[in-house]
Amino acid sequence: MLKIGQTKKKGFFRRSAIYVLMGTMMVFLLAGCKKSDSTDNSSKNDDPDATSSASIVDSASAFEKSIGADGNWIICLTKDLKADKDLVVDGEFTNGKKDESSGKDIVQRKIALYAQDEQRNITARYTLTVPKLTIKSPNASLQHGKFVGDVIVDAPNFQLVDNAVEGNIYFTSQEVKDSFTMDETSSVSGVQEVQ
- Tally of CB atoms within 10 A around 179: 17
pLDDT in tens, the chain (195 residues): 555 555 555 566 666 666 665 555 554 444 433 333 433 333 333 333 344 567 999 999 999 999 999 999 999 999 999 999 999 999 999 999 999 999 999 999 999 999 999 999 999 999 999 999 999 999 999 999 999 999 999 999 999 999 999 999 999 999 999 999 999 999 999 999 999
Residue extents of the structural domains in the chain: 50-194
pLDDT of residue 43: 36
pLDDT of residue 44: 36
pLDDT of residue 1: 53
Query: Model-level pTM?
Result: 0.73
Beta strands in the chain (DSSP E): 54-57, 74-77, 81-82, 87-89, 94-98, 105-107, 109-112, 114-116, 122-125, 127-135, 140-143, 146-153, 159-161, 164-166, 169-171, 181-182, 187-188, 192-194
CA 41, 47, 50, 52 dihedral sign is positive
- Tally of CB atoms within 10 A around 92: 15
Asked if 129 and 146 count as a contact pair (C-beta separation under 8 A), the reply is: no
Q: Which residues contact 87 (CB under 8 A, 6 or more apart)?
A: 63, 64, 67, 130, 132, 133, 134
Asked if 169 and 191 count as a contact pair (C-beta separation under 8 A), the reply is: yes
pLDDT of residue 47: 37
pLDDT of residue 24: 55
Cα separation, 187 vs 167, whole angstroms: 10
CA 195, 192, 188, 64 dihedral sign is negative
Pick from 59, 64, 111: which is nearest to 87 by CA?
64
Asked if 129 and 111 count as a contact pair (C-beta separation under 8 A), the reply is: no
pLDDT of residue 3: 55
Cα separation, 66 vs 132, whole angstroms: 17
Cα separation, 61 vs 101, whole angstroms: 39
Phi-psi region of 13 (alpha: psi -120 to 50; beta: other; left: phi over 0): alpha
